[in-house]
Amino acid sequence: EKNDAYYFIEVNPRIQVEHTVTEEVTGVDIVQTQLLIAGGASFEELGLKQENIKCNGVALQCRITTENPERNFAPDTGVLSVYRHAGGPGMRVDGIGYSGMTVTPYYDSLLVKYTARAASWNLVV
């Protein structure tokens, strides 16, 4: 826009699947905060002032799904024959997976989100 006017095209009030990246670098539990605000807490009561929220380090999210690239990434089903979780310092695991787990067509294809956190991009990857 020539006169530096900006317009909202969309407001998406739901928590995004990538929220774990923000949580890891800010230390703010976004889901808990949303519930507390819905229960009547104010931003001030929760200490949520922009100047108090600092980014520390870098986070990267990886999603493990049962989508089949040979079928245009349609959800896939079956039994997980081998499954091992990543782990260690700076690794957050949200979800479930285990050897012998039966994946059904009745739920989302996302099994696990791994969010890695470190001081720099080179360390997080």
Which positions are annotated as active-site residues? 14
Q: What CA–CA distance (Å, rounded) separates 122 from 4?
A: 36
Q: How many CB atoms lie within 10 A of CB 124?
A: 16
Q: What CA–CA distance (Å, rounded) separates 115 from 125?
A: 11
Residue 71 CB partners (closer than 8 Å, separation 6+): none
51 DSSP 8-state letter:
G
For the chain, the residue count is 125
